[in-house]
Structure 1
């Protein structure tokens, strides 16, 4: 049972509508437009919003969108057929009106839609009908086979195996070991054919026994003769075997070096002390205001070069397959299909997840299908520009996260702005937390770091070191005696949710502007730790949840984000659970042009990449430049 079917233009004008329910479906259609059509996710087969499942079709020639909605608990097999039939019938019936764009006329399509729906429902019932009865053994092809045809024999064809046996039977009779009979005139086939050995030539007229004895004598002579061993040259005398020397690793820190490596206060006067940390004061104040954007590669240019030589060099690139298709007026799926596989392989080679690459190709095909090319427009340039626009649209955030503005708003209310960091093991959560902390204190905000990683040994000590270094860069003397960075920790083995709650309360009492919650790294399949993370988010309700991921991963990025979001949703007793709000992409300076992880993460969550880590110092933090990423991806 369909709930609604609506046809509207890409400009938002509703041409025709069928409504089978009294509920308002406008918010669901708006969510489809916002999350799928505007975010270049048309490769998705369906979209779920609230209690409805929505499917759509695009008509690029007339700029139409066909959307059907039904309850998500239903499994309707005829919806795709109904969409295709309605799409075709509506185009054929109102082609003249659509070409002239007379949208003010009334589109009478109710009766025809009822007929198409009845035909599609009957087709779906036949498709989902009970399967026919199972065939009996007599009706199957296997019953027509003979027993001899089902016996597999070694050595190839049965006829070829029988011929050598017959020849041996003629030569050796029943006593021949290769072709013995069973008394009924039938030959026994050997289980394994021996390697053929040429029979020795016997004297003419000799009997079979004499021939066998001669062959035995020849065999004994061959075995007894053997090859003469060559005399070995005497070896030069050696002083003796030298034992393998143990390898000495650099910075191994053996027991002999323990005294020189002891920098504790209890060491003697003759032992050197630990060197004091000397901050680089020249970098202080360099990150005030907004974070610098990533600089695009100036050597890359979307437009081809003007000279013919550079055009010939670029002609053999990824889109050279389109050169024979230039001149078509209307793009069809058959025109684009030959290059979709090549395009998908190119994206996968750039570290885009395989499923995301396939959906991107499908989205490009849906966007170009039915589009009419101009007289001087080439298909290669059109497809390339369409792909570039889609990738830029995916990377462009649908909402802007302005942390500085949000922190100032929270300061006016007297509450701290809370940011929680989550991610898998070893991606750099604590390091990038320290980078963001440095950026915040550069803009004059005080920060409290909550050490909620109570599982990894050394996690609290790492944050304590970062706190000492950051306070050295911004000493209290420069801020009216106020310490800009504080660490709230309660050791190991405690409940992370309780530590975060106490830290937020402490920040509210001491008028701290921002609370940064450092959580333990956990794999997406670790169910107890994922439940603990969901509890932390649910209890403390942070203003921003950032997922820290590596730019080195490919397909794993999709699995990580999907399962983290699912865990936050499953372990929250709310209809609107707080899931991931943004992404921090680390180790971006190690991937060169393999920037596909940024596409995969943004496509899966629909959330923006807030920060990009591109180095090992506090100032190595950047904003994502969508054009720079797409330029590297399309090399």
Structure 2
């Protein structure tokens, strides 16, 4: 059963709606309704190619009529799995447009005339003057008849499936065998009845029972009668050979290293500071002066913006040249399967006409191939192109220039909407707001905590230290919590970073050891407990920010994801930043989807608040040139912003992303 159905104009005017339950009626009128959430989180962000949208137990599907600027929306409870929703949406579009097209065309034209006058108040007044109830007075009966017919059809289909079940199809006519050589190379699909299944199960049990008996006799430590004490190739023989071939200690030189040799090779933190206090370190290699950020008017240190500078043209110029098929450089460019082919394709779409799916199909395919070459995940490329196609189907174009303008606007708007963050990316503002908020005199201020998560080997510790340098430059005291208690050398790596950052100091000062400290409890301990102790230590000792370094883990490893969710649920960090590589394509979608889903599920099941990823830090950005599609994939999957990108090996190699720069890089040929 449906919960809600509505027909709206893209400008936000509801032409007709129907709610089928009191709860759905109240929800549809509230700001938290699934339809409003759909508009905010899917349509505005350019996720129009999604199959459906799910929110608060509801599943929402939608469809467009672009020439009349209409949106058809159907919402139902996710658990119901209604099969006729797609058919209902298609029938709604066809019937509604067929019955009321003259009225709708006049209504849309009047809105365009008012919008041309740039008067919002006049637009609202003009919309209110239209009597939709009178115009669509017979639509309720048509809708009820349509819905009743589809529901009856679905019920009949369900009854037919129950009365005539499909026979089970299994592979292979032969009974199970533990001998791989007996498996046929070409299996034939046959229908197996219950008796045959029972015989197969009985045969398999007999084989396993016989094998288990032999295994039990071997495992009991007693040899078979007449077998002898130790047969060649047996377990006893193998153990004796191992004992006979004991490993001999390897010598690396003619003589063992002396104490002085060992001291010269010891670069640990304690040796540098205590045994050789006069030793000086060259810290100039740790900072790239050309990559240093700038101080703004308020005296705050800001990291540089990443700039795509392969050409000195603006984004609009690049898009226009690509769509016209103009050469991008002195070397010839291939047009097969790339965005450069769009110019020749659209050259055929001249004259006044309405764009159809068949007209746009080759263009969208060329666009998809271009996005994939830019390292955008295949699934995301398809959805972006589908969204662009949906916004263009039914559009009336007149002449080559109009077509170019329509495609240029649709393509750039789609990518820009996806990349534009819906939350603030100003991390420093969030920190200062929390630290400056008023507190009761009896309450002690908590530090701002940030947890860095991600898969193995992406550079979490290195980029955590870059963020730490940026915070130190802004006069904040930072405590780094070493919660990677699994990887060998993880604590020592952070110890070296803390030593280097202490020597760099603020604006080159060398007396700022109190600005950054490391909180560590060794290896093999509970990461959630260490993080909690670190935050408590930071609160008692006046630290402003706690940066929590976690162990890398694959998104499919459920025990490790549960442990990470426990850390999040126990400590309630202010930010959870996912650290990912710019080199990944399709893998970015899988990593982020499963990481975010696992964090939300396991943190809620651990008794805490449901928490997902709050932002991303993309590493190795300097290795991809203009193939920056990972930014589009990651933002599309999570809806969260990219806060920083790492682009080098020094502490200053941290950049901020501007949407226009990323769009320019993605659309460049």
TM-score class, shorter: 0.7 to 0.9
Task: Give the Cα separation in 2 of the matches to 1:94 and 1:535.
Answer: 56
Instruction: Name the CA shift for 1:256/1:629 in 2 (closer, same or farther; >3 Å).
Output: farther
Which residue matches 1:402?
A: 426
CA contact (8 A) 2:320 2:408 kept: no
Which residue matches 1:3?
A: 3
Equivalent position to 2:518, from 487, 492, 500: 487
CA contact (8 A) 1:476 1:484 kept: no
Which residue matches 1:110?
A: 140
Task: Give the Cα separation in 2 of the matches to 1:365 and 1:623.
Answer: 31
Instruction: Name the CA shift for 1:576/1:59 in 2 (closer, same or farther; >3 Å).
Output: farther
1:585 equivalent in alignment to 2:618: yes
Instruction: Name the CA shift for 1:274/1:90 in 2 (closer, same or farther; >3 Å).
Output: farther
CA deviation vs aligned residue, 1:298-334 (integer Å, no higher than 9, x gap): 43443369999x9653694131322212324211111
Which residue matches 1:277?
A: 281
1:125 equivalent in alignment to 2:155: yes
How much does 1:286 deviate? 4.6
Task: Give the Cα separation in 2 of the matches to 1:135 and 1:477.
Answer: 76
Instruction: Name the CA shift for 1:551/1:312 in 2 (closer, same or farther; >3 Å).
Output: closer
CA contact (8 A) 2:582 2:620 kept: yes
Which residue matches 1:98?
A: 104
Equivalent position to 2:327, from 288, 313, 325: 313
CA contact (8 A) 1:476 1:483 kept: no
Instruction: Name the CA shift for 1:65/1:311 in 2 (closer, same or farther; >3 Å).
Output: closer
1:29 equivalent in alignment to 2:35: yes
How much does 1:339 deviate? 2.7
Which residue matches 1:46?
A: 52
Which residue matches 1:143?
A: none
Task: Give the Cα separation in 1 of the matches to 2:303 and 2:166.
Answer: 71
CA deviation vs aligned residue, 1:472-527 (integer Å, no higher than 9, x gap): 11179969977110110001110000000000001111111000000001111222
Task: Give the Cα separation in 2 of the matches to 1:383 and 1:453.
Answer: 48
Secondary structure in 2 matching 1:73: helix
CA contact (8 A) 1:279 1:472 kept: yes
Which residue matches 1:600?
A: 633
Which residue matches 2:555?
A: 524
CA contact (8 A) 1:475 1:483 kept: no
Secondary structure in 2 matching 1:3: strand
Task: Give the Cα separation in 2 of the matches to 1:16 and 1:127.
Answer: 30
Instruction: Name the CA shift for 1:577/1:265 in 2 (closer, same or farther; >3 Å).
Output: closer
Q: TM-score, normalised by structure 2?
A: 0.71
1:428 equivalent in alignment to 2:432: no
Alignment of 1:318-397 (within 5 A): 318-319=341-342, 320-375=344-399, 377-397=401-421
How much does 1:274 deviate? 11
Task: Give the Cα separation in 2 of the matches to 1:25 and 1:423.
Answer: 37
Which residue matches 1:64?
A: 70
Secondary structure in 2 matching 1:96: helix
Alignment of 1:424-573 (within 5 A): 424-474=455-505, 483-572=514-603, 573=605
CA deviation vs aligned residue, 1:337-365 (integer Å, no higher than 9, x gap): 12332322222222111111111121111
CA contact (8 A) 1:9 1:65 kept: yes
Which residue matches 2:304?
A: 292
CA deviation vs aligned residue, 1:100-155 (integer Å, no higher than 9, x gap): 2274212322111111212222333344442585999xxxxxxxxxxxxxxxxxxx
Q: CA RMSD in A?
A: 3.1
How much does 1:273 deviate? 11
How much does 1:289 deviate? 3.0
Instruction: Name the CA shift for 1:540/1:312 in 2 (closer, same or farther; >3 Å).
Output: closer
Task: Give the Cα separation in 1 of the matches to 2:288 and 2:365.
Answer: 51
Which residue matches 1:84?
A: 90
How much does 1:528 deviate? 1.6
Task: Give the Cα separation in 2 of the matches to 1:377 and 1:392.
Answer: 22
How much does 1:256 deviate? 7.5
CA contact (8 A) 1:611 1:623 kept: yes
Task: Give the Cα separation in 1 of the matches to 2:395 and 2:158.
Answer: 36
Instruction: Name the CA shift for 1:275/1:629 in 2 (closer, same or farther; >3 Å).
Output: farther
Task: Give the Cα separation in 2 of the matches to 1:285 and 1:299.
Answer: 22
How much does 1:381 deviate? 4.4
Could you tell me which runs of 5 or more consecutive residues in structure 1 were left unpaired when the two chains were aligned.
Answer: 137-252
Task: Give the Cα separation in 2 of the matches to 1:433 and 1:374.
Answer: 53
Of structures 1 and 2, the larger Rg is shown by 1
Secondary structure in 2 matching 1:542: coil
Instruction: Name the CA shift for 1:527/1:85 in 2 (closer, same or farther; >3 Å).
Output: same
Which residue matches 2:209?
A: none
